[in-house]
């Protein structure tokens, strides 16, 4: 289910090799993941249709790729790259969001470093070997996603 991605599933289950057919409250994990992703996709696309702003397209694309990484099953850390590309464009449009782009960039770097450990930096290896630290990092990612989602859903004429 989790393939080294710092996402929702790693938050719930760690990095154990759990099949996506495993049940969670009687529903297979793959159905939970796709269902959550579908809910976010519908919300984002409905807002985008109402918005009709080209800058909103980049934020919508960022949110869709971020949601895919966070909630779909079988995600690897590398599947966050598209979100970073759209995030860079958003940060270019709005300097207030620039700091959050850097935070998610650092989180992505830490996710890439996790399990690969090159170059060997003992402090980082120790930190990223602690599941509590990883779950804290994932919580930060989820909060950033929620922040951007609410900003997008409340977007009016200006892109702020």
Q: Which of 132, 122, 145 has the alpha carbon at shortest distance from 10? A: 132
Euclidean distance between CA atoms 66 and 72, whole angstroms: 10
Q: Assign residue 54 a region: left if phi > 0, alpha if psi is -120 to 50, beta otherwise?
A: alpha
Note the pLDDT of residue 18: 78
pLDDT of res. 1: 63
Identify the pLDDT of residue 157.
56
The DSSP output letter for 15 is T
- CA–CA gap between residue 46 and residue 38 (Å, rounded): 12
Q: What is the pLDDT along the chain (160 residues), one digit of tens a residue?
A: 677 889 998 998 888 877 777 787 888 889 999 999 999 999 999 999 888 677 688 899 999 999 999 999 888 899 999 999 999 998 988 888 889 899 999 999 999 999 889 999 999 999 999 999 999 999 999 999 999 999 889 877 555 5
Contacts with 74 (C-beta within 8 Å, 6 or more apart), sequence order: 1, 3, 20
């Amino acid at each position: 289910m989790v393939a080294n991605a710092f996402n929702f599933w790693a938050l719930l289950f760690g990095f154990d090799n759990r099949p996506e057919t495993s049940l969670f409250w009687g529903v297979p994990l793959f159905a939970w993941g796709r269902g959550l992703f579908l809910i976010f996709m519908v919300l984002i696309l409905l807002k985008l249709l109402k918005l009709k702003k080209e800058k909103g397209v980049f934020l919508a694309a960022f949110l869709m790729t971020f949601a895919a990484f966070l909630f779909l099953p079988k995600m690897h850390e590398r599947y966050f790259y598209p979100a970073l590309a759209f995030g860079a464009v958003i940060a270019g449009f709005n300097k207030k969001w620039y700091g959050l782009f850097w935070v998610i960039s650092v989180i992505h770097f830490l996710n890439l470093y996790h399990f690969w450990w090159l170059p060997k930096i003992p402090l980082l290896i120790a930190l990223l070997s602690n599941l509590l630290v990883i779950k804290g990092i994932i919580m930060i990612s989820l909060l950033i996603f929620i922040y951007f989602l609410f900003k997008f859903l409340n977007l009016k004429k200006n892109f702020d």
